[in-house]
Structure 1
Amino acid sequence: IHSGIKWPNDVLIKGRNIAGILTEAITAMDGIEFIVTGIGLNVNTLIEDFPEELRGITTSVREEAGRIVSRVQLLQILLLQLEQRYQQLISGGFTEILEKVRSLSLVIGRDIKIHQVSGITDGRAIDIDNNGFLLVRDGLGNIHHLMSGEVLFKPQ
């Protein structure tokens, strides 16, 4: 199943949300002390079981795979992948992880609107920086470094 990342924390398949990931890194003077991650993944839900207002924008592993999926096996695979990325991170592999995130980004290169508490930013997503901030160039050429917000894609 081919998926992509909609910054900052959504995983999409064919434009439909299948997962959301929230991560918080706690840092100390010498680097990351620990990371807390929460993952919500739609596993065996059928489209008709989602609320009507979500049916056009949501999917599940079952819908995409065409079969019921073992949650236990899926969790084992997920935990193994998380452990591998963690080991990569602590071994100095942050750059490779960030490049993978950039390559999976569904936002970079797109015209977007970002809804934030401070207001709306309109522009083109141009990159994700080393802090995970989304870089957006507005119509005046100014670069905004966005830490959070709800991304809305403009029609292509």
Structure 2
Amino acid sequence: MVARKWKPGDTYSIHDGEFGTYYACIAMGGDCVFFDTNADTALYELASIDFFLRLPVVYPSIRRAGWQKIGVTPVVGRLAEKAYYRYQSADMEKPAVWALEDETYFFPADGVPDNLEILAFWDAQYHILPLLRYHFHRIDTPVISKISTAI
């Protein structure tokens, strides 16, 4: 397993000037969830706010993008669930399901569900920020076509 500088529950604020503040939390498995708020929100309130998107984010890009760690959110409920992604390397005839936490993949007997995100590691500044701006302010971005989650 790859050593990471974060741990599940680490929670970040993402300041975006005039557009407000967004919030992300490291879920079980090391991917990020993004809470459905861009208002100033206290850390203890985030646990009661649902998230609208879950994606793997490259850790160094979190530092580069200036995300600020604001504390730790309890890893319970959906935050504690394993994340699964659609995976297909160039040498595979059909797609598989990748279990991010276990860093393994498997082939479900009934095929890979269509609603799984494609396994990719997203950059906090160049990919995630445009997705957040699109979700909260409908500022168009070509990145939106790269995800299957309706945001």
TM-score interval (norm. to shorter): under 0.3
Structure scoring higher RCO (CA < 8 A, sep ≥ 6) equals: 2
Q: TM-score, normalised by structure 2?
A: 0.27
* Structure possessing the higher radius of gyration over alpha carbons: 1
Name whichever structure is richer in strand by fraction.
1
